[in-house]
Amino acid sequence: MHRQPKKKNRIMDLEDEMQKFFCWITQICNLGRQLLWHFLHLILSLWYFAVCIAHALESSLISVGLLKRYKALNSVKVQYLALVIDSEEARQTSKVIELLQWLAAIGVKNLCLYDTEGVLKKSKDTILKSLSNAKLYEEATKKIALLDKKDITLEFASFSDGKEAVVKAANLLFVKYYLGDQKQPTFTESHVAEALRAIGSGGPDPDLLLVYGPTRCHLGFPAWRLRYTEIVHMGPLKSMKHGFLIKAIHKFTMVSRRYGK
């Protein structure tokens, strides 16, 4: 009669020991996962830090001219360059002006400044006053003969410009082909391009488009002006580097483009 309680006690003790063992194993596994996570995080942080140091060093070497391959920079190949800047970062007017001064020193003559909300448009007067040799693209194209070799032209654009251009172009095509007696065509890219030219929408297609901001996209820059454009993400405007700007332009000038011919 007295043996059954002893057996039960042994079974309960065994169950307690097993539970303690499994708890111990679980704690070890959790500790191992945490250590592994911290180790991988440390490795990635060190790798990212090393990459940042290497990039900063490369940018400095390019800026001071110690890397020979970047000395012969043929900026003439960049006939028209577009800067797409995140609207929040576009509020840093001093940074935008510094970037434009770098590009002017490199030899880029024609620039388009774009942001979604039109922040750069609001800063247009400040930017033009800060660059003594800058002129508006719209005015410069009408007075080409009066342009100096040192002058640079600036076009200011925003998302609303492209939206309005599409509406005006659509209305023009509707009036031309649907209200008249002409045969209604199947619209192609050439019809749309002709309508956009007729309403005087924007300037020429950029050869190179540099994106400054956290997002790797053109932020709504008019798609019909990006048919043959090379797009490069340059990172945040606050951490822009002169060397990386030279590197991006140099890489563009070294690539052969055939445009399907």
pLDDT value of residue 261: 44
pLDDT value of residue 1: 47
Q: Are 88 and 122 in contact (CB under 8 A)?
A: no
pLDDT value of residue 97: 96
Q: Are 241 and 210 in contact (CB under 8 A)?
A: no
Residue 33 CA to residue 250 CA, distance in Å, equals 46
Structure tokens given for 169: 């172009």
Structure tokens given for 40: 């991988």
Would you call 53 helix, strand, or coil by DSSP?
helix
pLDDT value of residue 140: 72
| Contacts for 225 with CB less than 8 Å, ≥ 6 apart | 202, 203, 204, 205, 206
pLDDT value of residue 117: 93
Q: State the 10-residue block means of pLDDT for the chain, 261 residues long.
A: 59 74 87 91 90 84 83 87 96 96 93 94 93 84 64 89 76 76 70 71 84 90 87 93 93 74 44
Residue ranges per domain, the chain? 1-66, 74-254
| Contacts for 75 with CB less than 8 Å, ≥ 6 apart | 106, 107, 108, 249, 253
pTM: 0.74
Residue 207 CA to residue 191 CA, distance in Å, equals 23
- Burial degree of 162 (CB within 10 A; 0-12, 13-18, 19+): buried
Structure tokens given for 10: 């042994």
Structure tokens given for 116: 């979604």
Q: Which CATH architecture has domain 74-254?
A: 3-Layer(aba) Sandwich (3.40)
The pLDDT tens digits for 15-35 are: 777 888 888 888 889 899 999
- Burial degree of 196 (CB within 10 A; 0-12, 13-18, 19+): buried
Residue 150 CA to residue 54 CA, distance in Å, equals 35
**With left for phi above 0 and alpha for psi between -120 and 50, is residue 65 left, alpha or beta?**
left
pLDDT value of residue 6: 62
pLDDT value of residue 154: 94
- Burial degree of 112 (CB within 10 A; 0-12, 13-18, 19+): buried
